[in-house]
């Protein structure tokens, strides 16, 4: 299993995704501010991974607090949660992870539980969320594999793999589950400019697992669909609105429209905590704008003329009407998504 992130006695250890695939190295975040930095700088990225990182960051902050009274600790917890919540705006899993620890903290504090006991319970919960992420993605993978063809090429965009989670992955978890069943599938991975999650991360983790993978530039997907080469597309998600509109890595929307035009199923694979029922539709999902340098520079070298305008939205929203199914660990959602999502939200598991 690829060790994307890990709770240790000295802090949270992260596989540095900015250095892959050339160098496999780890960054140790020794306090919650350093956890916030690694999320902001994309040392760790991917919705599920930053969700659990956020939870671990809050737990670490509480564990390291020197507060001796609950009112003092309450004030610190507010600052810790706020700092971590300001790192990245789009993936709802981050806010979910922070809320998991904050809610437990609030409950224990309201019961006047001793500070040492609170510390051990929040740390235990952060570690449980890590284990549950992997377990949920394995269940999700099995649901998704039922939908894939037994052979042929599957297109994916960005990295919704083990690196985007505590392990296994969502979209790539489905592919892993299909391969484990013996399906004869191979993957076409979009390079995913400008951060190149496909080039650097998806290609790395799939080849490491000996899953046949072909890297294509983002603008080649339509060509291969036109040739009849792609049997299905599967992507992850950063936030799914109550009506099924899905925010995912920039370029996902184009893939979905191409699939529609070519009659190819377009699947979204995401754990249920990616669904944000408070956000009614995709228009209300906040889209992160990242630094221009991600577009202007390649490997530290400027490739654009000085003075050109740059736009760098990190995500786009695929309207629900282009989505064939949303695969979660609770089961498979289909249109009308407003109804299927509302019904599934009532299930506890």
Residues that constitute the known binding site:
45-47, 88, 197, 248-249
d(CA 24, CA 18): 10
CB neighbour list of residue 290: distance below 8 Å, 6 or more residues apart: 195, 312, 313, 314
Please select the residue that binds ligand MRU; options are 53, 100, 121, 170, rule is CB under 6 A.
170
Query: Does 164 participate in binding ligand MRU (rule CB under 6 A)?
Result: yes
Residues within window 237-256 making contact with ligand MRU, judged by CB under 6 A: 237-238, 248-249
Closest separation between CB of residue 50 and ligand MRU, Å?
Answer: 7
d(CA 25, CA 19): 7
Under a CB-based contact definition with an 8 Å cutoff, are residues 57 and 35 in contact? Answer: yes
> DSSP E strands: which ranges in 191-311?
213-216, 230-235, 239-241, 246-249, 266-269, 275-276, 297-298, 301-302
- The secondary structure of 60-106 as a DSSP string is HHHHH----SHHHHHHHHHHHHHHHHTS-SS-HHHHHHHHHHHHHHH
Quote the distance between the C-alpha of residue 203 and its chain's center: 17
Closest separation between CB of residue 327 and ligand MRU, Å?
Answer: 12
**Does residue 21 have a cis peptide bond before it, meaning omega lies within 30 degrees of 0?**
yes
Comparing CB distances to ligand MRU, the nearer of 32 and 315 is 315
| Cβ-proximal residue to ligand MRU, closest one | 236
**Known active-site residue 82:** no
> Which one of the listed residues 238, 245, 276, 316 is annotated catalytic?
238
Under a CB-based contact definition with an 8 Å cutoff, are residues 266 and 256 in contact? Answer: yes
Here's the x/- map for ligand MRU, 65-94, by CB under 6 A: it reads as: ------------------------------
Q: Name the one range near ligand MRU by CB under 6 A: 20-28, 42-50, 63-71, 122-130.
A: 42-50
Query: Does 327 participate in binding ligand MRU (rule CB under 6 A)?
Result: no
Closest separation between CB of residue 111 and ligand MRU, Å?
Answer: 35
Under a CB-based contact definition with an 8 Å cutoff, are residues 125 and 56 in contact? Answer: no
Please select the residue that binds ligand MRU; options are 236, 244, 251, 282, rule is CB under 6 A.
236
Under a CB-based contact definition with an 8 Å cutoff, are residues 152 and 123 in contact? Answer: no
Q: Binding site membership for substrate: which residues?
A: 45-47, 88, 197, 248-249
Comparing CB distances to ligand MRU, the nearer of 62 and 172 is 172
> Residues in the site for ligand MRU, rule: CB under 6 A?
45-48, 158-160, 164, 170, 197, 235-238, 248-249, 314
């Amino acid at each position: 299993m690829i060790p994307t992130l890990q709770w240790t006695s000295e802090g949270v250890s992260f596989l540095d995704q900015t250095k892959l695939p050339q160098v496999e190295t780890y960054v140790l975040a020794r306090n919650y501010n350093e956890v916030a930095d690694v999320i902001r700088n994309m040392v760790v990225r991917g919705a599920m991974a930053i969700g659990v990182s956020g939870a671990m960051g809050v737990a670490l902050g509480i564990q390291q607090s020197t507060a001796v009274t609950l009112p003092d600790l309450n004030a610190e917890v507010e600052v810790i949660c706020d700092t971590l919540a300001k790192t990245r705006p789009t993936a709802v899993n981050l806010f979910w992870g922070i809320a998991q620890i904050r809610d437990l903290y609030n409950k224990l504090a309201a019961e006047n539980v001793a500070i040492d006991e609170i510390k051990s319970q929040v740390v235990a919960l952060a570690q449980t969320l890590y284990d549950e992420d992997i377990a949920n993605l394995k269940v999700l993978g099995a649901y998704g594999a039922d939908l894939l063809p037994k052979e042929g090429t599957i297109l994916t965009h960005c990295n919704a793999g083990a690196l985007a989670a505590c392990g296994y992955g969502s979209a790539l978890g489905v592919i892993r589950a299909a391969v484990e069943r013996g399906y004869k599938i191979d993957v076409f991975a979009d390079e995913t400019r400008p951060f190149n999650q496909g080039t650097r991360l998806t290609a790395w983790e799939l080849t490491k697992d000996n899953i046949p993978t072909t890297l294509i530039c983002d603008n080649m997907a339509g060509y291969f669909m036109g040739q009849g080469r792609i049997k299905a597309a599967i992507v992850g998600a950063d936030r799914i609105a109550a009506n099924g509109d899905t925010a995912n890595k920039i370029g996902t929307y184009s893939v979905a429209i191409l699939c529609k035009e070519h009659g190819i199923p377009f699947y979204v694979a995401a754990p249920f905590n990616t669904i944000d029922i408070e956000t009614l539709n995709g228009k209300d999902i906040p889209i992160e704008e990242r630094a221009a340098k991600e577009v202007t520079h390649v490997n530290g070298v400027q490739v654009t003329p000085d003075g050109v305008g740059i736009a760098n939205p990190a995500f786009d929203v695929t309207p629900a009407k282009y989505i064939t199914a949303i695969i979660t660990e609770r089961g498979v959602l289909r249109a009308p998504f407003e109804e299927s999502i509302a019904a599934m939200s009532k299930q506890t598991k």
